[in-house]
Amino acid sequence: MKTAKKQPSDSLPVFRYHPNPIESGAFQKTEDEVVCGCCGKKTNMVYHGPFYTVETVHNLCPECVSSGAAAKKFDGAFQDDCSVDDGVDDPDKLDELIHRTPGYCGFQQEYWRAHCGDFCAFLGYVGAEELQELGIMEEVLDDPMWDEEQKEMIEMMENGGSIQGYLFQCLHCGKHLVWVDVD
């Protein structure tokens, strides 16, 4: 698993809050070129994540996500602005997160973590095993958001299982945080 400091490959735009969108599955390469539902250009890299809009939109290209064109054209958002941590007072940061950052797929409502007055980078899907391998389990459990019962649930997370973890990293101090979702 990469850290928030790495940049995406395959000539994707840089997404500050989602630095590894191919690795996380937010963008997937298609065998054949398809037409972007926003700009109408052909692409073989399409968005596969949440997009909250009343319209049905298919095959968004990375550029239309990154520029905010898709969010503007379809009056949509890639993240629910009510499902984010408090403590980010800069409206430009919220705009970047919800209108120009690919989301991730959860069982229920996706939630975006914040730290040091900014939104964190989404690193990917994890279970307790991955947190142990990365050596960050104690760091993740040292989060005032979690009570003892929730900490036990974090220790039982299984990547791809019924208790799924989503790993974030602070862009400023490097602290790792998780969000937990149950199917």
Instruction: Indicate if the pLDDT at residue 7 is higher than 50.
Output: no
Point out which residues pair with 165 in neighbouring strands: 126, 180
Q: What is the pLDDT of residues 32-57, one digit of tens each?
A: 999 999 999 999 999 999 999 999 99
Indicate the burial class of 158 (C-beta count within 10 angstroms; 0-12, 13-18, 19 or more): middle
Amino acid identity of residue 8, one-letter, is P
Residue spans of the domains in the chain: they are 8-105, 110-183
Q: What is the pLDDT of residues 113-163, one digit of tens each?
A: 999 999 999 999 999 999 999 999 999 999 999 999 999 999 999 999 999
Q: DSSP letters of 87-126?
A: ----HHHHHHHHHHS-----SS---B-EETTEEPEEEEEE
